A and B are shown apart, each in its own frame.
Chain A
């Protein structure tokens, strides 16, 4: 494990020497964030961790300012959001960044998760790192769901009604849980109040789990596209300047993509009906969650039984917790697993397909396909992955990370050419 500690911090100035002998914060940060040894072969799919940090920061910063102007009351929430859009200086920018920022957060987290799936980043010794990631994903979903309720539009209200009602399917305690969530007997002002409170709280819980996630990362080190362990100093590069430069570039490209939505299509990812104020007497024709929940929504509706649907939907996330033990393959990276690589892409298509079906009305062929794809989703994790590790013949692995980068293991001549 010694290769996972970067060069220690050497205070140069008199002040920093004084500081370090009292609060050695640089001594803590420097080897973990500056000189941290990082595999030299990380590709751009590895830049999404940093991008996610950016997303979280943006959401918290815009959210704090939005909360200064927002009023969590059923009679005023919708109007206060429009007040932000119309009268608050750059309020439109804050709100569009925050609203689209949620979508960007999920785009980044889905890419981050599928990268983990492709390269086997969940396998030993990174199981806890992965599990903390799944916890973060669940916290994100809860936060996003409650945040979507706050503008108190039609879909806010009806989405909240549909999703909170799911808990009533739980035997014995279901009604109690639902009433606790509502603060009454229907989605109403107490619901909005508590969702606002929780929507403000959960992001800071996310920050806490992110700290654990990064802590766990810094114990095991990054996985890499070969899936090989770091074997020597030569396999790594200091995080700074190599990955600060790479992550920084990727981040700005991501912000370009983000800005495209914020400035030129700020409402394209949202449902138009949410610009209509919540009305408990008028049910929208189709109650559809935001795009990032659609695959789970499709799974929920694929099951004809309410409780069954809820169990299977939560099961679709829970299965990720045991993923590290379901995959029996000794090889991490899909690059060296010819069969797994194909099943990986099938899974990607199945998930996108479920997302498509989640946006469709629950009728006819859409339901049939939802069931088929839901069944396949679980089949992938519960059957294909355990079996595949036993029957698949992985391709020959390179000797080392360095060899995979430079074509041959040139022992110390790494600087020569590339």
Chain B
């Protein structure tokens, strides 16, 4: 009788805990979604799940899309060239990174004459910004400010799925919808009116590894690259997490056995 009551109480506690947990986990996807956006397509990313890792080939392709398309208007202020050669990233060699960096010019100085000068970027430099300041960026983009891409994969509801959806979501506006001047219709953008015109088309970028140059591939690859840029320690986190979990599981088993042993003398 007593045990039964205990179980019932436990059950109810359990149920409410589950309800609370569901409540906790829900805001990420539904309630805070900015706007009415359509359901996001779900991509089977290589980095999702507790054992997920980045696909180096995909990150390298994504970098190429970023370099040739996105970086014309978007900055990536928090990422340095050296990051491209770090573990858990696109896996470029330090030599490759030197070459990649040297394609960009950055301002340095002042030199001994007191002048600022331009020099090729080196591995320790951050990615240069395409515009000197927000005002000129707006001037060049019809009043819109292209956001920095360093953290965008974590700064949007839906995350990397949303980025992929946005890039593939350009469509004809419905007949009954009047677009503002300079705006474009996107099925996934909150409010559906986005200042950024469709950035990538079939064949925009030449992949070196034979991957077909489709909008779908470009979008997935660059979204994955942005996920890495936002969370460069994802692989290290998953690897350490696995070890920590294993340790804690065994440790909790031992502690449970110890607890049983200690308590066996009193009930």
Contacts and interface: CB of A to CB of B under 8 A. Distances in A.
Interface of A: 40, 45, 79, 82, 85-86, 92-93, 96, 237, 241-242, 245-246, 248-249, 252-253, 255-256, 259-260, 262-264, 266-269, 271-276, 285-286, 288, 291, 335, 345, 348-349, 352, 355-356, 359-360, 405-407, 414-415, 417-418
Nearest to B12: A345
Interface string B127-161: 00000000000000000000100110011110100
A285 B34 CA distance: 7
Interface string B225-267: 0000010110011101110110011011001101100110111
Main secondary structure of the interface of A (DSSP, over half): helix
Contacts of B258: 245, 248-249
A245 B259 contact: yes
B4 interface: no
A263 B238 contact: yes
B84 to A, nearest CB: 13
Interface of B: 2, 5, 9, 12-13, 16, 19-20, 23-25, 27-28, 31-32, 34-35, 50, 78, 83, 147, 150-151, 154-157, 159, 190, 230, 232-233, 236-238, 240-242, 244-245, 248-249, 251-252, 255-256, 258-259, 262-263, 265-267
Contacts of B5: 335
Contacts of B150: 82
A405 B267 contact: yes
Nearest to B25: A268
B23 A356 contact: yes
B145 to A, nearest CB: 10
B240 A249 contact: no
A264 B256 contact: no
B263 A92 contact: no
B263 A252 contact: no
Contacts of A288: 27, 32
Contacts of B236: 92
Given A245-B262, A268-B25, 14 more contacts: A45-B13, A82-B78, A92-B233, A241-B262, A249-B255, A256-B245, A263-B241, A263-B245, A267-B154, A285-B35, A288-B32, A349-B16, A417-B267, A418-B267
Contacts of A93: 237, 240
A246 B267 CA distance: 14
Contacts of A241: 262
Given A242-B262, A267-B154, A288-B32, A249 B241 contact: no
Contact of B155 (A237, A272, A407): A272
Main secondary structure of the interface of B (DSSP, over half): helix
20 contacts: A79-B78, A82-B78, A82-B150, A93-B237, A96-B237, A237-B266, A241-B262, A242-B262, A259-B245, A259-B248, A263-B238, A268-B28, A272-B154, A273-B155, A288-B27, A291-B27, A345-B12, A349-B16, A359-B32, A414-B266
B241 A259 contact: yes
A360 B266 CA distance: 50
Nearest to A246: B259
Given A85-B233, A275-B151, A291 B24 contact: yes
A356 B147 CA distance: 31
A256 B263 contact: no
A79 B83 CA distance: 16
Contact of A40 (B12, B83, B266): B266
Given A82-B78, A352-B20, A248 B155 contact: no
A412 B83 CA distance: 69
Given A252-B255, A259-B241, A271-B32, A352 B23 contact: yes
A356 B20 CA distance: 9
A196 B187 CA distance: 42
A355 B26 CA distance: 12
Contacts of B256: 249
A45 B256 CA distance: 16
